[in-house]
Amino acid sequence: MTHAPHKLVPEGFTPVPSLAALAHVTTATHVPPAVDAVAFLVTTDGDLPGDIGLDRDALALAGFEAESGSSIVLAKAGSPVVLVGLGAAAEVTVNSVRDGAASAARATAKKGGSLAIVAAGLSLPADAVAQSVTEGATLARYRYRALQAKPKDHALSELTVVVPGADEATIASGIAAAQPGVRAAVVARDLANTPAGFLTATNMADEATRLGAAFGFDVETYDKAALIALGCGGLLGVNAGSVEEPRMIVLRYRGGGEGHLGMVGKGIMYDSGGISLKPSDPMHLLMKIDMGGAAAILGAFTALRDLGVSANVSAWLMCTDNMPSGSATKLGDVLVARGGKTVEVKNTDAEGRLVMMDGLVLATEDDVDAVIDIATLTGAALMALGKSTAALFGNDQALVDRVRAAAETVDEPVWQMPLEKKYRKQLDSDIADIANLGGPFAGATTAALFLSEFVGDTPWAHLDIAGTMQAEADDAWRSAGATGYGARLLAQVARDF
């Protein structure tokens, strides 16, 4: 007997409330008098800010020598003052400025909603400094507050960026350059942090429609009947155990240029493992974030218009939960992907690749010039690279290099892994064209090899973000919880495409 889904979502609830509360960022030639806190970014050499009234010897006695990552709060009359170390001036980069601004913002989170950050004496271009300060501070103060009546920390409502000696128009241009990427990451974080009972596949489609209308991209939604007509056996097979309908959400941004970039995102709204049920441990609690790839793409799309992307960009978000029930796909079942390839299911917890295969085929049918997929796909990627670096695979080195360059620009690290063709035989099946699971080793590679079967000759890159999707604790501008990894990276790839 099929039961109707139990809806937890309150009337009027939106999974991305933070957009309405993003900080108002302004420029100034000096620190405004009425702010809740002031932060100075300080190097180990060069002049100290005259406003603090202390020399380096006095600061050293207090344990602060401006080494990278260090900070100190000074007891001053009026607004609290925080000094954040950047290290030697010659070694300061936009990434270290971003991290320093994040430290400043987090150190003042309990002081109030307005913050001024002063970045003086740096050899970097003023607009790049302003962009990094804006990104670091606003992303570091992010918290998912949609379900809290009384949040513990103050939201950052007003940020003033002060770069002494720089033209205010230049600072303003850096702030403007930061805003689309910040918004992209916040959207991705909000979606991934939202509990699965509040964000089903159908809710995700509704949210995409709302965001598309606000940020200039088209949205097409495909329900279960439409997916049956399209022959999307992977998405339908994973959805078979759920009372919630699946959705394929197709996003289209029309930049007017000649290039056509495709993206495919894993949108497993909650992953129980299906019949191959996951153990009830802390990892199970994180499985609401198993749609982090789809969330990153949807976040990236909110940035494309404001970044002036000239390419045409299309995306296929493959959304469902993966649940055990009497109707769930069983081990040994065979699914038929879009395009007709048959897949033996050897493990229902290797479900991400099953939904992605349909999206990849549809992308290639749409004549994209290149396709990038992003998915919280394998524990093997986490074990190999940890929680700071995503695994990158591809069949086209030029496209892989584009992704690597974008990752370096936005400080979302990737590491290219080998698409070792010798391991392909691990995916052989006695009864179908391919199996969805390889052997006990090189799991990230065999998963990538599986996906590569569905792209043909189309240039393709694959991002496995199983490690980078979530942070257990605050880490520079990456707030605890969903990190939104990939949103800024994909927006940067699209801008450069």
Instruction: Point out the residues that are catalytic.
Output: 278, 353
* β-bridge mates for residue 263, sequence order: 315, 372
Three-class secondary structure assignment of the chain: CCCCCCCCCCCCCCCCHHHHHCCEEEEECCCCCCCCEEEEEECCCCCCCHHHCCCHHHHHHCCCCCCCCCEEEECCCCCCEEEEECCCHHHCCHHHHHHHHHHHHHHCCCCCCEEEEEECCCCCCHHHHHHHHHHHHHHHCCCCCCCCCCCCCCCCCEEEEECCCCCHHHHHHHHHHHHHHHHHHHHHHHHHHCCCCCCCHHHHHHHHHHHHHHHCCEEEEECHHHHHHHCCHHHHHHHCCCCCCCEEEEEEECCCCCCEEEEEEEEEEEECCCCCCCCCCHHHHHHHHCCHHHHHHHHHHHHHCCCCCCCEEEEEEEEEEECCCCCCCCCCCEEECCCCCEEECCCCCCCHHHHHHHHHHHHHHCCCCEEEEEECCCHHHHHHHCCCCEEEEECCHHHHHHHHHHHHHHCCCEEECCCCHHHHHHHCCCCCCEECCCCCCCHHHHHHHHHHCCCCCCCEEEEECCCCCEECCCECCECCEECCCCHHHHHHHHHHC
Contact 334, 226 (CB under 8 A): no
Nearest-CA neighbor of 82 among 73, 90, 91? Answer: 73
